[in-house]
Structure 1
């Protein structure tokens, strides 16, 4: 049955006009050939010929690539089974469905006044001609201009439109095939493992999606590479086999046959039995849902399928090389603007440029990345901002990170939970407690509960700021939310309370540690001994010291020094010496920490000979006396009136004045005043005030010493 007889006269007239009017981006002034009836004839019209406009041959090649049909030479095997026929029909149906959907839009755009019935008739005629050409197998004639025997029912312009639409359809089908292939690699175990690892280190959202597609694409390219190697190996084997057969062949007929086998086979459309069985949903206009479904599919593909970067060539390649050769102090903005004007880039093109820059010019990479935040075609999102902020935060460049945050706000992008998380860590690490608290409150307002890492950062910030009680409150909040603090957090808090001499806080942390399942160790017991020693409670210090030994730990030099310092607070020299004798019997040898406490204690008692004996033992160990010993010696020799040694120790102390605290200055100045070294005392007091320390009783003592002008004793 002739399809043209199904069309009324209006369809014929419209299609005739369509032959001359449809062009890509242009409108013709004249109407070309009209559609001919089955009995009419016309002069041969040479079809539009282009190397990229062979949709039927491309369709054959596409079917061969995906394995839907088995093409052998240019003939069709009549012994094909029903499954192969169904697969071919399914692929053909998809091609024709997409073809009709696009062609319908072009017809509707040209003939706005035509009704649905007219458009449907025109589509039937066009599709009928396309299917007729595919059934005749006239592909070689379409490619050869000299023997063009295609249907003369369509003009050159109409065939051009048909070929353009067919190429677009085949491109979409190829893209769909790649998409289906990509889905398999997206679900492979290696990609899933990489995604799980990325999720554990905090990668979420768009960044995770980009990485996932990147890894899947790499796996697919790797698979294609090995498949190509496999095909090459098979070709080499076939060639070797052919060469071997050629050596054994003696007859000319065999040699000719071998040469025929080596010729490449041309893949064409197979000859089929009967008509092509196809179903075109686009022609079923009774249900308009198919057009909406197609629109949604095309829109979703734009989002789900990553774009491919454009090739860089010509002037754009020269500009790219100039960008890669820029120095860190150069301004990349002019070259980037020129590159954007030449390349007309999308987001994937910018990322391709950034990847090259990251490999060849690492120092310039952050600067270019920041410039692109203001580039419209880059389409910067919040992940781009947070990535740059994180890079600045890791390098402790707080001002740069704050500048990016300010640029975010100017562009109407509010920091999300991930960005705020980065700010909390950055300010905590920098010791900016106020800004860290503000970032933490912003995180809570966003409805995000802080995790263990955020709590750890904030606790360290409070500890470094000298506020262990506020840090303890955060630790209690962690426990209330079933987030178990680590051993490091407990030890950090215990160490902070010990340094501040807070016995209650240190005791609470030690008890909480035991309830949390962490057994006391040498470090925790030593900190408790030092804490009780600072407040002058040698009994509690000794209890923790003995408990340490009951746990099976041997006290080290630092722990023993803490216990001796506790006895020093109450001036219990006999108990301290007794403890040292007991420990020496167990093999303990006092180290520098214990000797430092003993020198300080004996120096206060003015036991100069005993102190010098300890100094001799320290010198035998090959260790230099620490600053604390020099402070003790300066105080002792000044009070004892040993001028030479007092001034010698004073010179060492003044050389390290930046390391002195208020207590050290008071000790040195007080000893100099007591020994009659008034001028030296005034000089050290001036150094003390220059360091930002002030002491009223020292001012009174200096004033009194100047009034009475005590005479310096001599020894």
Structure 2
């Protein structure tokens, strides 16, 4: 299968791209007889030589300075990567990216960043770039982390590929959380197979999964709609024998919400409450929204009450979700009650809330009630905004009375003034 340069550069095919030119360093707890592998420079090629601890005095040959050329060759003996040579073909965007590198970043890290910014498959593989950097610069873990942080901040397309290669380097001194970050990164891109491979590689190196890593997997499965895998991973967390934290619970609740099963999510919320573990406000809002969208007023009201017990003060957006639940279910009188309760609590109704109230009246074709509602707001100095106006205009369009809107409002206002009927 032939690959385009863009596929290779973006890492869409070369997932989990690592350099297998030397055995993986393993967890010393698992394998006490590990060997240290030093790279030696022979001709134009870097290669790894396993040596025993009795030969630590033998040092690999290395370049005298950064300016000295480090080159690798392909199987045909042709040069593939030449370190430090950034030719005149550099683009304006690349030069701008180089100019924006942090001034406090060490020169060795800046040297690698420049190579990555100007990287192209025609010059060699990314593995070769990093291999040359390791041999010439002898980076520490701090250097690796500085480079990865900059790539992550810049949202560089090679960030995860560099991280996958780095994690196998002894100088990187990988730990469990390093793997978790990669898994989380793949999860954000919905690259499930790559995340699972990273998890498998992590386990093969003797690292034991903890609650944080497994929660990252639940997040990924949840967003990808893989409910069964999320449930299985949640059960795996329980088998760790530790008390589940709010992140793990929250991730599983979100998985149920995305799967259209808010009642299952609410059951976990109750389980949390029993243990005095309170979810974040975003979980309550997501659960309330799920009930609101399907018009489940009882569920919406329960969650609305629960979030207040959890110490979360409702805002206009949260109140809007409750109003919407009653509106969708065809209970405009209860939607209006929720609207007025919001105002009594000292919250100014947003344009969204007004639009939801109008939609509730429209559902039950209560035009007179809607006009009465609007006139009352106008008297109190609350003007209709864009969304509410569009909702009203859409309603009148369906009724075929667009041109008569102004006349109807004027007549309604006059009748109300003559009759003395309150607006709300």
TM-score, normalised to structure 1's length? 0.36
Which whole-Å CA distance do the structure 2 matches of 1:521 and 1:386 have between them?
Answer: 35
Contact 2:393–2:402 (8 Å) recurs in 1: no
Contact 1:443–1:449 (8 Å) recurs in 2: no
Contact 2:139–2:171 (8 Å) recurs in 1: no
Contact 2:265–2:287 (8 Å) recurs in 1: yes
Deviation at 1:498, TM superposition (A): 1.1
Contact 1:490–1:509 (8 Å) recurs in 2: yes
Deviation at 1:542, TM superposition (A): 2.3
Pair 408,537 (structure 1): closer, same or farther in 2 beyond 3 Å: same
Larger RCO of the pair (alpha carbons < 8 Å, separation 6+): 2
Residue 334 of structure 2 corresponds to 540
Residue 555 of structure 1 corresponds to 349
Query: What count of residue pairs does the alignment treat as equivalent?
Result: 305
Give the alignment of 1:284-303 within 5 angstroms: none
Contact 1:354–1:365 (8 Å) recurs in 2: no
- 2:274 maps to 1:510: no
1:524-580: CA deviations, max 9, x gaps? 333222221211112212222222232233433322232233233333322222222
Residue 92 of structure 2 corresponds to none
Which whole-Å CA distance do the structure 1 matches of 2:163 and 2:317 have between them?
Answer: 47
Residue 473 of structure 1 corresponds to 267
Contact 2:141–2:173 (8 Å) recurs in 1: no
* Aligned partner of 2:400 among 593, 600, 606: 606
Pair 599,485 (structure 1): closer, same or farther in 2 beyond 3 Å: same
Residue 522 of structure 1 corresponds to 316
* Aligned partner of 1:486 among 269, 273, 280: 280
- 2:107 maps to 1:313: no
- 2:185 maps to 1:436: no
* Aligned partner of 2:385 among 579, 591, 604: 591
Which whole-Å CA distance do the structure 2 matches of 1:526 and 1:409 have between them?
Answer: 46
1:209-265: CA deviations, max 9, x gaps? xxxxxxxxxxxxxxxxxxxxxxxxxxxxxxxxxxxxxxxxxxxxxxxxxxxxxxxxx
* Aligned partner of 2:125 among 331, 351, 356: 331
Contact 2:148–2:162 (8 Å) recurs in 1: no
Which whole-Å CA distance do the structure 2 matches of 1:595 and 1:549 have between them?
Answer: 20
Which whole-Å CA distance do the structure 1 matches of 2:60 and 2:150 have between them?
Answer: 19
Deviation at 1:595, TM superposition (A): 2.9
- Which structure dedicates a bigger proportion of its chain to helix? 1
Give the alignment of 1:293-692 within 5 angstroms: 313-314=62-63, 319=70, 327=119, 329=121, 330-331=124-125, 351=141, 354=144, 367=161, 370-371=164-165, 382=176, 385-393=179-187, 397-408=191-202, 415-610=209-404
Pair 380,491 (structure 1): closer, same or farther in 2 beyond 3 Å: closer
Contact 1:328–1:363 (8 Å) recurs in 2: no
Which whole-Å CA distance do the structure 1 matches of 2:358 and 2:255 have between them?
Answer: 32
Which whole-Å CA distance do the structure 2 matches of 1:498 and 1:578 have between them?
Answer: 25
Pair 319,360 (structure 1): closer, same or farther in 2 beyond 3 Å: farther
Q: Which moved more, 1:358-367 or 1:404-413?
A: 358-367
* Alpha-carbon RMSD: 4.5
Contact 2:324–2:356 (8 Å) recurs in 1: yes
Which whole-Å CA distance do the structure 1 matches of 2:349 and 2:182 have between them?
Answer: 49
Pair 400,608 (structure 1): closer, same or farther in 2 beyond 3 Å: same
Contiguous gaps of at least 5 residues in structure 1: 1-205, 207-301, 615-715
Which whole-Å CA distance do the structure 2 matches of 1:586 and 1:465 have between them?
Answer: 43
Give the alignment of 1:172-191 within 5 angstroms: none
Deviation at 1:501, TM superposition (A): 0.8
Deviation at 1:583, TM superposition (A): 1.9
Which whole-Å CA distance do the structure 2 matches of 1:458 and 1:334 have between them?
Answer: 41
Deviation at 1:504, TM superposition (A): 0.8
Contact 1:372–1:378 (8 Å) recurs in 2: yes
Which whole-Å CA distance do the structure 2 matches of 1:571 and 1:495 have between them?
Answer: 24
Pair 589,394 (structure 1): closer, same or farther in 2 beyond 3 Å: closer
Deviation at 1:597, TM superposition (A): 3.3
Residue 636 of structure 1 corresponds to none
- Which structure dedicates a bigger proportion of its chain to strand? 2
Contact 1:568–1:601 (8 Å) recurs in 2: yes
Which whole-Å CA distance do the structure 2 matches of 1:358 and 1:600 have between them?
Answer: 51
